[in-house]
Amino acid sequence: MRERTVDTSHCRLALCETEGQGPTLLMIHGNSSCKEVFRNQLLGRVGKDHHCIAMDLPGHGLSGDADAPDTTYSMPGYADAALELMDVLGHGDFAVLGWSLGGHIGLEMIDRSDAVTGLMITGTPPVGKGADALGAGFLVSEHMHLAGQREFTQAEVDAYARSTCGINAPYEDFLRDAVARTDGRAREIMFSRFADGVGCNQHDVAVRSRVPLAIVNGGDEPFVNNDFVSSLDYQNLWEDQVHILDGIGHAPFWEHPEAFDQHLLRFMGDIGSRSA
């Protein structure tokens, strides 16, 4: 697996990529996380079979902080950074796996670009604009308020890392370190912009997606209303269902990669057959 950095108009972006020869998959992590959260997929069959690229978002991991925070730290800004990265790398078409914030970025990407051939989201409710829409897609939880908080205490760093990766999931130091490293402005500005309706109407984009949209969520999801996600009248929903993995939390690819990867491999196989 190769690791490197790429200069973009937003900042220097860090990435790692595998040598798989199958269709390209861009992996986008969640709020205050990092590319290493996809380690099981990168080092497993997914990375062996497919050309996987996992990026650190601006203000996260080994990427630089945004040169223009007010522009970059938003759904459109993150989407633009991801699309620019893939363009610089020479990928004219690719699928996207987005977790939590990464899924929201993926929805913004399919609204903005024809380069994305398929999107899998996990831990991401496709909400519309306005407080009522946000309230329908998200659950009230003990640590949800931290998603938009700029400064964290050490206790809050640990609490956010544990709650987002899953209470019953393996917990490693890099998960905590990723939260501690994150530019606090990235949380604060992104959350504020999203609440203000900056970006596309993600409900409409998901329902009318022009590319296959796969949804794989944990059944014990603490932040996302699975009933809401399953209730939408999707026009291009992969396998015609929202896949729910029982007993798993917010990051099923990390908590139970064996179960999650079965869906991801099938999805990538379908994407490859469509483009053949």
Distance CA 140, CA 264 (A): 29
pLDDT band of residue 204 (cuts 50, 70, 90) is very high
Summarize the confidence of residues 163-169 as an average pLDDT.
Answer: 85
pLDDT of residue 131: 86
Write the pLDDT tens digit of every residue in 94-127.
Answer: 999 999 999 999 999 999 999 999 999 999 999 9
Write the pLDDT tens digit of every residue in 71-96.
Answer: 999 999 999 999 999 999 999 999 99
DSSP string, 150-208: S---HHHHHHHHHHHH-TTS---HHHHHHHHHS-HHHHHHHHHHHHTT-S--HHHHHHT
> What tokens were used for 34?
């990092």
C-alpha closest to that of 23 among 102, 108, 106, 117: 117
Domain that holds residue 178: 2-275
Write the pLDDT tens digit of every residue in 210-252.
Answer: 999 999 999 999 999 999 999 999 999 999 999 999 999 999 9
Distance CA 137, CA 219 (A): 15
Q: Which amino acid is at 207?
A: V
Distance CA 36, CA 54 (A): 8
Number of domains in the chain: 1
CATH number reported for the structural domain that contains residue 130 in this entry: 3.40.50.1820
Write the pLDDT tens digit of every residue in 54-71.
Answer: 999 999 999 999 999 999
> What tokens were used for 11?
């900042």
Distance CA 49, CA 51 (A): 7
CA distances from 15 to 63, 64, 177 (A): 8, 12, 17
> What tokens were used for 124?
């991401």
Q: Which amino acid is at 9?
A: S
End-to-end CA distance of the chain: 26
